[in-house]
Amino acid sequence: MFSKSKINDPAPGSSDSPSSAPTSAAPASPAPAPKSNEFKASAPKAKPPASILSSDLHVTGNMKTTGDIQVEGTVEGDIRAHLLTIGETATIKGEVIADDVVINGRIVGRVRGLKVRLTSTARVEGDIIHKTIAIESGAHFEGSVQRQDDPLNPGAKSAPAKANPAS
């Protein structure tokens, strides 16, 4: 209702007749509807900010989200997210699965990610299954590294896929 009067305000400035105001209001009503649909279509694409688990927080249990998580505290359990950032003060004891994993802290357990990055302060004790990986100088890593086309799928294995075409 307020938007219609705002839409009508510019039109009455150019014309004093009431017939112009309803005419401009009628076409304006259908026009904002598609625009609002466009905004609604783009609204799910807009990501909320990452959930941050502070350094004094200790979580026991599994976490799963389609969003982003930044961990600064301690987690004993598995974590699944879109983007997972492990802070320098963080310790994760469990499996980590995410599209993007940035490790600045400590993980004891398996890491699965499309893109995995170990910064110079990272400490990982466990296997890393990835599509792409980056390990900065100074990172500490004990375990095996395996590349897979689909590392997020625990059943996917790259070796048999390569062996079948060769057969």
For residue 160, what are its two tokens? 């048999």
d(CA 15, CA 25): 13
- How many percent of the chain have pLDDT more than 70? 65
Does the pLDDT of residue 167 top 50, yes or no? no
Question: What is the pLDDT at residue 50?
Answer: 83
d(CA 4, CA 131): 52
At 4-50, the pLDDT tens digits run 545 455 555 454 545 444 444 445 545 555 555 554 555 555 667 88
**Mean pLDDT value of segment 56-79:** 95
In one-letter notation, the amino acid at residue 10 is P
Strand order in the sheet with 123-125: 58-60, 74-76, 91-93, 106-108, 123-125, 140-142
